[in-house]
Structure 1
Amino acid sequence: MKKLGRNTWASIVVLLFGVVLFYVGTDGFRAFTAEAARVERLKADKPKFPQVTLEDSMGRAYPVSEFKGKYVFITFLYTSCGTVCPELEMNMGEVYKKLPERYLGKEIVFLSISFDPERDTPERLDKYKDMFGSDGETWRMARISDQAELDSLLKEFGVIVIPDGEGNFAHNSAFYLVDPEGKLADVMDYKKTGDATRKVLRILEEGEKR
């Protein structure tokens, strides 16, 4: 059997080292981008929705415990966004419309949260919700006026929001599902509305059988 030369062994060591780095950096090959890795960690950690006060499009203010005992299907947005946010909310509307009406407001509530509370007043959110078929009750649009509370929520749920200094934000987007105990149950690709609808429907149907 031919012995491997020093250069060959060196190449093998470098290759193995690279594989280990790739494994660690991608959470065990399950994720190939930083965003996917972030989502994998969130799913594993299942953070609890922090205590915040929401102010919705009707001007009502209430704690997040308003939704205790229900699933909450969440997006994060700002109404001045001209890129991903309209698509995000349109896709949220698709999931909303495909769920049986008997679940809406009783077993699950849809909630769009603005991370631009200074501009996204209740009046502005009220106009914005009409563009997507939000009824303001079973699908609410709200802001969190307290910046510390907002920052806490964004941090817990891994929502990255970077202002550009000109009134716009670079941010990641997804569907977030919070369970009746207030813990993050899942993070879903907002572009795959069919998958999200089937997943939520399955969860709600399983809840009915218990």
Structure 2
Amino acid sequence: MIQKNRKTFACILILLFGCVLFYSGTDGFQAFTAETARVNQLIEEKPTFPDVTFEDSEGRTYPISEFQDKYIFITFLYTSCTTVCPQLEMNMAQVYEQIPQEYIGKDIVFLSISFDPSRDDPSTLSKYRTFFGADGETWRMARISNETELQTLLDEFGVIVIPDGRGNFAHNSAFYLVDPNGLLMDVMDYREIDEAATKVISILDNEKGE
């Protein structure tokens, strides 16, 4: 009987120890993967969009202050991508379509940022945007030509981009929402289209009601 109790106690102790390790290793059960932990940290820290210069599909150049006092719904991509990027932008188009027209361009703009500036010049971006119905104004596609500025933005927003040496990149994908003060407000699963649209509409409605 004593031996049995000892085994039971040992099993309970091991289980509790495992739970403690799991809890501490997953940010309190909220992060089950490294990506989830990364997103949770970004949302908590709310990094500021750094000072960068965009060149968009129309050949215009401007700083992030171009979108001052507006929410910015953002994706990161490269146009040569044949895997996740087209799906990412198609999903973004569906979010765009769900936002009430009264908010589009006035309270929120959509921005797709290329992390492959050497190939994604304005003419390439101009052609690419037509595949998804981006109008080049309320939904813009742009590159950041300055490599230091681009890397600073990727680092600040936790965007992982790894070249494979053959012209392609391994990268993570998400929807990013920046608030009118230039702070990263949320990072959303790009596969959850309706959830992202509902969240953005709720934010815009609350803003209007204040």
Question: Do they superpose with TM above 0.5?
Answer: yes
C-alpha separation between the residues in 2 aligned to 1:4 and 1:183?
A: 58
Shift of 1:31: 1.7
Aligned to 2:118: 118
| One-letter amino acid of the structure 1 residue matched with residue 172 of structure 2 | N
Aligned to 2:61: 61
Aligned to 1:97: 97
C-alpha separation between the residues in 1 aligned to 2:4 and 2:158?
A: 47
What's the TM-score, normalizing by structure 2?
0.95
- Structure 1 segments (4+ residues) deviating >2 Å: 1-18
Aligned to 1:73: 73
Shift of 1:11: 4.3
CA RMSD of aligned residues (A): 1.6
The worse-fitting range, judged by mean Cα deviation, of 42-51 and 108-117 is 42-51
| One-letter amino acid of the structure 2 residue matched with residue 198 of structure 1 | T
Partner deviation per Cα, 1:167-210 (whole Å, 9 max, x = no partner) = 00111100000000000111111111100111000110111111
- The runs of 5 or more residues in structure 2 that have no matched partner are none
C-alpha separation between the residues in 1 aligned to 2:49 and 2:162?
A: 21
C-alpha separation between the residues in 2 aligned to 1:97 and 1:48?
A: 27
Partner deviation per Cα, 1:134-173 (whole Å, 9 max, x = no partner) = 0000000000111111111111111111111100011110
- The runs of 5 or more residues in structure 1 that have no matched partner are none
Q: Secondary structure at the residue paired with 2:35? A: helix
| One-letter amino acid of the structure 2 residue matched with residue 138 of structure 1 | T
Shift of 1:66: 0.9
Q: Secondary structure at the residue paired with 2:187? A: strand
C-alpha separation between the residues in 2 aligned to 1:175 and 1:109?
A: 13
What's the TM-score, normalizing by structure 1?
0.95
